[in-house]
Amino acid sequence: MREIKIGNIRIRGYAALAPMASVADRAYREMCKQYGCAYLTSEMISSKGLVYGDKKTPKLCRITPYERPMALQLFGEDPLYMAKAAEMLLRFSPDIIDVNMGCPVPKIVGNGAGSALMKNPRLAEKMVSEMVRAVDVPITVKLRSGWDEQSVNAVELSKRLEQAGAAAICVHARTKTQMYSGKADLEIIKKVKQSVKIPVIGNGDIKCGEDAQKMYSYTGCDLVAVGRASYGNPFVFAEINSYFEGKEFIAPTLEERLNAMRLHTEKIVEYKGERQGMKEARKNIAWYLKGLPGAAKLRNECGTLSALDELYDMIERILTNGEADEL
């Protein structure tokens, strides 16, 4: 079993779940954990939302024993607010606190947070330094290759963040301007790994065990993180684990996949109530249905689901009809 240590936290396994805003909530994380995910990170948490007492923000900070080891991820542009927010997170007992320097979304970047911090290494360094001083929990950073192709500075920034006290770096091997398009550049992860002594997590284009092996072999990274490949597919972690353990992975049957979809949706409803839960579950249901029997005909129906009974009816129809119509 592969093992890395971030600060005083031991992580055992082959693949982590990359932090994904508006996707990786408690239900999503638990599904990934169930299928063998080694390490989880929360959705993005606003540092100012915490400091100003926003009522919804604490809901993003809760960690269950089942989810550990787990990091809470903060975003913001002000080192003092980030340090104060890190202190406030301590009441939720995070194993690790992660800093988002990779989000490319305009509303985050426009305020100077997320990947905008890569354009200001001095500020990024000060932020990590203040947070490290404020708490005794390991501080890690998720960043990108750079802002654009002309300013790929992940290596330089990683060195500065290590000096500031960061306990690990996670590199999404795309620039901010790439968003999620094109291919991840493994070379930049390799260079970051060669330039720092702290653990490096590689992120980008990990869809199966072979992809994970390629990233480990080429970059020398300490752990890989799976993002979009887990959409409707928590089984990806079982597949990766099987690959490294030399075991045969048998892809889930239609019934097993629909079962996971049902369980995932029931978890969302349990944690958020049926009305809000079903609303948020629609995208997940559509992801689970991709490529499955009847998916094209059911795609529009996903957008109107408002009760668990409607989902149960849909599952029954899929299993009964046995249609084959891919998205």
**Which amino acid makes up residue 148?**
D
Active site (annotated) includes residue 170: no
Say which of 37, 103, 221, 302 is annotated catalytic. 103
d(CA 16, CA 204): 12
Angle at 250 between CA 248 and CA 254, to 5 degrees: 175
Residue 10 carries which DSSP code?
Answer: E
d(CA 205, CA 292): 22
**Residue 41 contacts residue 19 (beta carbons within 8 Å):** yes
**Residue 26 contacts residue 271 (beta carbons within 8 Å):** yes
**Which amino acid makes up residue 192?**
V
| Residue 279 burial (C-beta neighbours within 10 Å; 0-12, 13-18, 19+) | middle
How far CA 155 is from CA of 169, 170, 192, in Å, comes to 10, 12, 5
**Residue 320 contacts residue 293 (beta carbons within 8 Å):** no
Select from 139, 128, 168, 131 the least CA-distant residue to 16.
168
- Specify the 3-state DSSP secondary structure of 98: strand
Active site residues: 103
